[in-house]
Structure 1
Amino acid sequence: MLIDKEEDVAAAMHEIGKEPILGFDTETRPAFRKGVSYNPSLIQLATAQRVFLLHLSHISFSDEIKEILSSADIIKTGVAVGNDVKELIALSRFSPGGFHDLGDLARGLGMHTCGLRNLAANLLGFRISKGVQCSNWGRKVLTSQQIIYAATDAWISRKIYMEFLKLGVIKEAPVEPA
């Protein structure tokens, strides 16, 4: 679900806030010149039922969004989440809570391939495409390929976390909503 209107943010955050485990990622326009960087353009949050794409080119990085990202009661999981969080804090300060890095978890288990694509292949049995990764995430209108790619990254992150739970690698998990 692409959230690109301010009036849709509250309902999306209400639904997201009910979830104990979220897949998490961000997308940022790539910079191909030294010393040039861009703010994150998209925040992806995957629930058990859908993926929300928060298009920061159209909506503000609001207190409602920061509240979800600050909650220690809601697990947000992905690969290299520390970098994504650092970039979001530079955009607007908040105190992150509940973030779990799948790459760190995989390294702690002695796995040598800890990227999202390889974790998906090793744990879920399929590979995801990274072809759109370096596209222009700062566009006003995202392509259908960008939307699918962004949603897949967050969804896969949640699926991998759930697989780690199923395998007993992670001992505790919040209770899933009814």
Structure 2
Amino acid sequence: MYPATISSEEINELELQRYEGKVHIITQPDQAAKVMQKIANEKVVGFDTETKPAFKKGEYNHVSLIQIATSTEVFLIRVNLTGLTNEIIAFLSNKKLVKIGVALRDDIKDLRKLRDFTPAGFTELNKIVKSIGIESNGLRKLAAIILGFRISKSAQISNWESEKLSDKQVNYAATDAWVCIEMYRELERKGYL
């Protein structure tokens, strides 16, 4: 049984964790095609996106990065460089491959502004946790409640379109996707899925 909510103070008491495994940064369309081929046989992946923040009223930026976590590695696809290729569209539309994440509706809406597709296979963690009595939502709070550790959000508002992503950005982005698949696995282990 999980607590319904958690305070910021309680989160700050928890140990800080981040993804420590292999990370691939994808900048070319042909690399993206190989990644999509590689993950096609996965059953579940963690999923997230990042967008360069807009600081002026009326300003809008497209999705810059798609993060995909498998059980063994994380792929950071710089869609501002690769574009939304046919292979990525096929992945986003694949109903057999579960893409688990938090606030996916916004991610999907923003991705569809780049190129329209029919989203399939997306599973919203916020929806799952509500059904088991967790009232909190958002990646940081859910990670604290379900996994018992704290994740950093310090790189969230950074330039995701910079020529080279910083180590801090790479760690942040990889951790976000990894935490999604880890929470899914934990809920599955406890019999909630």
Same fold (TM > 0.5): yes
Identity of aligned residues (%): 42
1:128-148 Cα deviation digits (max 9, x unpaired): 000000111121211111011
Partner of 1:150: 173
* TM superposition shift of 1:102: 0.5
Deviation larger for 107-116 or 22-31: 107-116
Name which structure has the greater RCO, CA cutoff 8 Å, separation 6+.
Answer: 2
How many residues end up aligned between the 2 structures?
170
Deviation larger for 74-83 or 111-120: 111-120
The alignment yields a C-alpha RMSD, in angstroms, of 1.0
Deviation larger for 109-118 or 32-41: 109-118
Is 2:62 aligned against 1:39? Answer: yes
* TM superposition shift of 1:53: 0.5
Tell me which amino acid in the other structure corresponds to 1:127. R
Tell me which amino acid in the other structure corresponds to 1:168. G
Is 2:115 aligned against 1:89? Answer: no
Unaligned runs of 5+ in 1: 171-178
* TM superposition shift of 1:108: 2.5
Deviation larger for 100-109 or 67-76: 100-109
Structure 1: which 4+ aligned runs deviate by more than 6 Å?
Answer: none
Partner of 1:122: 145
Write the mapping of 1:73-112 to structure 2, written as runs, cut at 5 A. Answer: 73-112=96-135
Unaligned runs of 5+ in 2: 1-23
Provide the rounded CA distance (Å) in 1 between the counterparts of 2:30 and 2:128: 37
Partner of 1:10: 33
Please say if residues 23 and 77 of structure 1, whose CA atoms lie closer than 8 Å, have aligned partners that are also in contact.
Answer: yes
Could you tell me the TM-score, scaled by structure 2's length?
0.85
Please say if residues 29 and 85 of structure 2, whose CA atoms lie closer than 8 Å, have aligned partners that are also in contact.
Answer: no
